[in-house]
Structure 1
Amino acid sequence: MGGILFGSFAVLAACGLPIAVVLGLASVITLATMSDIPLLVVAQRMFTAVSSFPLMAIPFFMIAGSLMEGGGISRRLINLANKMVGSITGGLALVAIVTCMFFAAISGSSPATVAAIGSIMIPAMVSAGYDIAFASAVMAAAGSIGVIIPPSIPMVTYGVVGGVSIGALFLGGFGSGLLVGLSLIIPTYFIAKKRGYTGTGSFNLKEVIIAAKEAVWALLMPVIILGGIYGGVFTPTEAAAVAVIYGFIVGVFVYKELKISDMGRLLANSAVSTSVVMLIIATASVFGWIMTSERIPDAVAEAFVSFTNSKIVILLLINIMLLIVGCFMETNAAIIILAPIFIPLVVKMGVDPIHFGLIMVVNTAIGMFTPPLGVNLFVTCGLTNIRIERLSKALIPFIVAMVIAVLLISYIPAISMFLPTILMK
């Protein structure tokens, strides 16, 4: 049954079908040909998978991100980042990365981060003389931070699948996100220095404070949301609903850049994005259920343990597998399928499941800007009309930097576990 499951998955994926369709059809083909289980079970498992209170956070965070994006948040965050780091060598590229770190604390989505910030920063970099491939690569890579710094939709998915605290994952995302941001800033600075991309203006603390005041309502959102979660005021799912209300109030009544007439379009876009994610979660759950029933996770764990008992080597092998899978599979689907396989193994090796969740999220975030299926690549190419081959070549230094960041997160747990350890006792 395992051979039919993965064989049909490979064939269907090679045909270029959407990942949700691939997972669903592979599951149906396997059950229809290798078992007497009625296919009605597929629909039942799909319904059960998405009938989850914690998963309600996904559509709410989608809507909140759309509201904040349409309410003038992007421009104010870019202005703040520009006042902070714009004067440094490669200033505009660094502004793009820092702004993505700010926006990540609002959107929870990588493509949304690329679209919101890239539509402003890429033309600005090109106008300042930056190579369009370099500017696009910076944006595609920096957008991946959108799913690492909380709130993060893949973290919600992992929390549900792995049965771990979503709040603790969010806390761990801060350390991981800051490290990833720094890992992207370093190659950006040296490439900019080599190519002569200078900064803009000079650093002025007074201007930074003024820009921070203008962006304060945007910066307060993660404080209110995460503070409410860790203060016990509301759950992560309720926090997502609060984020929607907050985003609406700020966009309509504070910044006054969000019009009521825009709501239909924003809600429709959020509904489409949510339906795609939910369909992937539903079909991936059926795929994962078949794997579990066939004891495939146990077989994989035994294979790893028979190869080596070294925690260092096993984590390295898992990282390599996650990096490869991330290039070919959507993030949420990869988490739903692989988390049940690897969690029992890493727990036996003494790895905290929260720590491992952060390893998974950062690994799969790399897949968002690596070919052939990196969603950030297609969003960026849509903004710039650059060929994906040229963009992929420019991304190599950033992929290397992110891989180093993943290894540091894997082997130095304190990077991601410091805040959860301190605040979740």
Structure 2
Amino acid sequence: MSVEIQMEKIPQAAAFKAGNPVARIGWRLETGIRWLTEVAAAGLVVAEVLLLFANVFYRYALHDPLVWGDELASLLFIWLAMLGSVIALRRGEHMRLTTFIARLAPPRRAFADTFGAVVVIAFILVLLQPAWEYTTEEWAITSAALEISNAFRVAAISVGLSLMLAISVARLMERASARHFCVSVLVVAGVAALLYVAKAAMTAFGNWNLVLFFVVGVVFMIVIGVPIMVAFGLSTVAYLTTVTSTPMLVVVGRMDEGMSGLILLAIPLFVFLGALIEAMGMANAMIRFLASLIGHLRGGLSYVLIGAIYLVSGISGSKAADMAAVAPALFPEMKKRGEDENELVAMLSASGAMSETIPPSLVLITIGSVTGVSISALFTGGFMPAVVGAMAMAAVVWFKNRRKDTHGVARAAPRDVGRAFLIALPALALPFVIRAAVVEGIATATEVASVGVAYTFVAGLVFYRCFDWKRLYPMLVSTASLSGAILIIIGCATAMAWALTQSGFSRQLAELMSAAPGGPAGFLVISAVAFVLLGSFLEGIPAIVLFGPLLFPVARTMGINEVHYAMVAVFAMGLGLFAPPFGVGFYAACAIAKVDPDGAMKRVWPYLGALFVALLILVAVPWVSVGFLPAA
């Protein structure tokens, strides 16, 4: 997640009145691409949900599996990922860090936005011709069940890159000044020329080049607000072009490999499921029940906030969406009871960190995809670490509210609690339906979200009856956008991880961390600290894709249970993600609640301190993560 600072928009009417033909052409180009991509992507989300649910129904109910189902799902999936990436680029929803550029004066911020757009264009231009060449080479490969050329699937990459290039150019035509554009092009071209001239000299530096490209280069691009996927991808391209003779066709192939894992199809489905839960009124029903049950206690609504985040977390794929579903339902009543808004945001932010391991977390799905760890085992292991985090936060809430006057706060009558429970029961059952579908073999981890979507539609329409059908299309488009932003990061990070592996860095890292003092315990502690730092700058998904393939084999060789290691890594990244001053999750919580970060920053530290203690417990007590796993 990121706190987005959008480029200053030029209103359509102003552009026409000013007689700016360049801006007018850019606006028309962007509008055409908008309708083309959004309608197609919305249709693909619906098609994937229906196809995967049909797979479950035919296999489990009719015992007649659709042999072509997975192939068709894979073909549609990469098109959904690339069109979603285009939509995310147009809407400014690609993951990026804007903490630093937000502090710039408007003219400098405008230049930073223009420079970032030129960097994006440079990255796309480098890969565009190899992407079309990759499509041509895949023409000879035929799928087993559908018996069609694989070129129809991988063409999504080249088409997507072409549309992203068109969007980037259209944005510059609409919004960038000629001076900013020319300076940006000269800087980017100058850096490229410098790398070309210094190619021979840099090759002699060996793996010290990794520091230049994958530390200095990546950090610089992230700091100036370049999308994380471009920071990963362009650093990889620059390294391979300058230091090796690897053709760019290989980079496109690695991106395809990273985005094509069928298990990742769970990402758009769970994103859509999360939006559906909120739109159907199910999230609000769960919150009302918790409030009636414990809202009368000292700090009762604070406990409700923690419990509500626990219940809705992990499904939407966006912590911002989780927090946005809970905050409007609870904050007004909490303010009526005298709660300070800074305290509320501090609790909201820390609750987001606490709940990172709760299934069906997209980070857990990503770990399973890139490391081979069982998704079912990760889902099972994710509940208790969050319980430990929730208990640590509850201890802070109790301590802060132990002398609070609750006079005038009425306790809900047992009848009202029972009524709220019955109303919330269909919503409360959803996590159990999802888990049972996986454990009982009804659906795979990829397909289970389609079961959840079907259940939510039926339960929402039958029991809650508050769904506005006008919200469906925007939900589908938003699902495609968020999914595309996540998946293209995975693709670029996969290419980057491949480059690091080929350089020998993974072997050196394994040797270094294996020699850490303290054996497995020391390795766990070092990993926890490293993932806290990573979480401060990166979302969990790109960090896991980049470092998971490097570190999980080391943990395995040291005898550390992979589920235990995964929980430590995810919990630590969540802590970093919501820890100021760098954690972008913290600023997202402030934005949702419309609160100044400076005030909330002073209140969040006790909660983060409690979560750090919970992290130490996870490191020291493997049972918390693996105690409920079935015996091998």
TM range (shorter): over 0.9
Match in the other structure for 1:177: 386
Counterpart Cα distance in 2 of 1:231 and 1:273: 30
Match in the other structure for 1:214: 423
Counterpart Cα distance in 1 of 2:598 and 2:568: 28
Residue 375 of structure 1 deviates from its aligned partner by 4.0
Counterpart Cα distance in 2 of 1:8 and 1:197: 54
Match in the other structure for 2:332: 123
Q: Does 1:148 align with 2:357?
A: yes
Aligned CA distance change for structure 1 residues 58 and 198 (closer, same or farther; 3 Å): farther
Residue 208 of structure 1 deviates from its aligned partner by 3.1
Match in the other structure for 2:240: 31
Q: Which moved more, 1:342-351 or 1:365-374?
A: 365-374
CA contact (8 A) 2:265 2:446 kept: yes
Amino acid aligned to 2:210: G
Match in the other structure for 2:376: 167
Match in the other structure for 1:365: 574
Q: Does 1:272 align with 2:481?
A: yes
Q: Which moved more, 1:164-173 or 1:146-155?
A: 146-155
Aligned CA distance change for structure 1 residues 26 and 371 (closer, same or farther; 3 Å): farther
Q: Which moved more, 1:406-415 or 1:144-153?
A: 144-153
Match in the other structure for 2:294: 85
Counterpart Cα distance in 1 of 2:613 and 2:280: 36
CA contact (8 A) 2:296 2:406 kept: no
Match in the other structure for 1:348: 557
Match in the other structure for 2:274: 65
Q: Does 1:263 align with 2:511?
A: no
Match in the other structure for 2:547: 338
Match in the other structure for 2:304: 95
Match in the other structure for 1:297: 506
Q: Which has the higher contact order (CA 8 A, sep 6+)?
A: 1
Aligned CA distance change for structure 1 residues 292 and 199 (closer, same or farther; 3 Å): farther
Match in the other structure for 1:2: 210
CA contact (8 A) 1:76 1:215 kept: yes
Counterpart Cα distance in 2 of 1:401 and 1:349: 29
Counterpart Cα distance in 1 of 2:409 and 2:377: 39
Match in the other structure for 2:450: 241
Residue 146 of structure 1 deviates from its aligned partner by 4.4
Aligned CA distance change for structure 1 residues 146 and 264 (closer, same or farther; 3 Å): farther
Q: Which moved more, 1:59-68 or 1:212-221?
A: 212-221
CA contact (8 A) 2:302 2:397 kept: yes
Secondary structure of the structure 2 residue equivalent to 1:420: coil
Q: Which moved more, 1:262-271 or 1:200-209?
A: 200-209
Q: Which moved more, 1:132-141 or 1:195-204?
A: 195-204
Residue 301 of structure 1 deviates from its aligned partner by 2.1
Counterpart Cα distance in 2 of 1:105 and 1:23: 25
Counterpart Cα distance in 2 of 1:287 and 1:152: 24
Counterpart Cα distance in 2 of 1:202 and 1:105: 31
Larger Rg: 2
CA contact (8 A) 2:263 2:445 kept: yes
Counterpart Cα distance in 1 of 2:350 and 2:444: 31
Residue 307 of structure 1 deviates from its aligned partner by 3.8
1:138-176 CA-partner distances (Å, limit 9, x unpaired): 111112344321111000000111101101100001111
Secondary structure of the structure 2 residue equivalent to 1:395: helix
Counterpart Cα distance in 1 of 2:370 and 2:415: 47
1:50-109 CA-partner distances (Å, limit 9, x unpaired): 111100000000001100111111221111111222122111111111111111265454
Residue 195 of structure 1 deviates from its aligned partner by 6.0
Query: What is the TM-score normalised by the length of structure 2?
Result: 0.64
1:11-49 CA-partner distances (Å, limit 9, x unpaired): 222323222221111111111211111122222211211
Q: Does 1:252 align with 2:461?
A: yes
Q: Which moved more, 1:159-168 or 1:271-280?
A: 271-280
Amino acid aligned to 1:82: A
Q: Does 1:415 align with 2:624?
A: yes
Residue 247 of structure 1 deviates from its aligned partner by 1.8
Aligned CA distance change for structure 1 residues 199 and 323 (closer, same or farther; 3 Å): farther
Aligned CA distance change for structure 1 residues 200 and 170 (closer, same or farther; 3 Å): farther
Counterpart Cα distance in 2 of 1:218 and 1:314: 40
Match in the other structure for 1:387: 596
Aligned CA distance change for structure 1 residues 144 and 70 (closer, same or farther; 3 Å): farther
Match in the other structure for 1:138: 347
Residue 296 of structure 1 deviates from its aligned partner by 1.5
Counterpart Cα distance in 2 of 1:200 and 1:61: 38
CA contact (8 A) 1:46 1:283 kept: yes
Secondary structure of the structure 1 residue equivalent to 2:297: coil
CA contact (8 A) 1:86 1:199 kept: no
Counterpart Cα distance in 1 of 2:311 and 2:593: 23
CA contact (8 A) 1:141 1:395 kept: yes
Aligned CA distance change for structure 1 residues 344 and 105 (closer, same or farther; 3 Å): closer
Counterpart Cα distance in 1 of 2:413 and 2:277: 27
Residue 380 of structure 1 deviates from its aligned partner by 2.1
1:122-141 CA-partner distances (Å, limit 9, x unpaired): 23222221111101111111
Secondary structure of the structure 2 residue equivalent to 1:419: coil
Structure 2 spans left out of the alignment, 5+ residues:
1-208
Counterpart Cα distance in 1 of 2:298 and 2:214: 51
Q: Which moved more, 1:49-58 or 1:172-181?
A: 172-181
Amino acid aligned to 1:401: A
Q: Which moved more, 1:149-158 or 1:71-80?
A: 71-80
Counterpart Cα distance in 1 of 2:262 and 2:408: 47
Residue 197 of structure 1 deviates from its aligned partner by 6.8
- Identity rate, percent: 28
CA contact (8 A) 2:516 2:522 kept: no
Structure 1 spans left out of the alignment, 5+ residues:
none
Residue 295 of structure 1 deviates from its aligned partner by 2.2
Residue 321 of structure 1 deviates from its aligned partner by 0.9
Aligned CA distance change for structure 1 residues 42 and 146 (closer, same or farther; 3 Å): same
CA RMSD of aligned residues (A): 1.9
Counterpart Cα distance in 2 of 1:380 and 1:122: 13
Counterpart Cα distance in 1 of 2:455 and 2:408: 35
Match in the other structure for 1:376: 585
Counterpart Cα distance in 1 of 2:378 and 2:573: 15
Counterpart Cα distance in 2 of 1:34 and 1:421: 48
1:291-322 CA-partner distances (Å, limit 9, x unpaired): 11122122122222334252222211111111
Q: Does 1:397 align with 2:610?
A: no
Amino acid aligned to 2:576: G
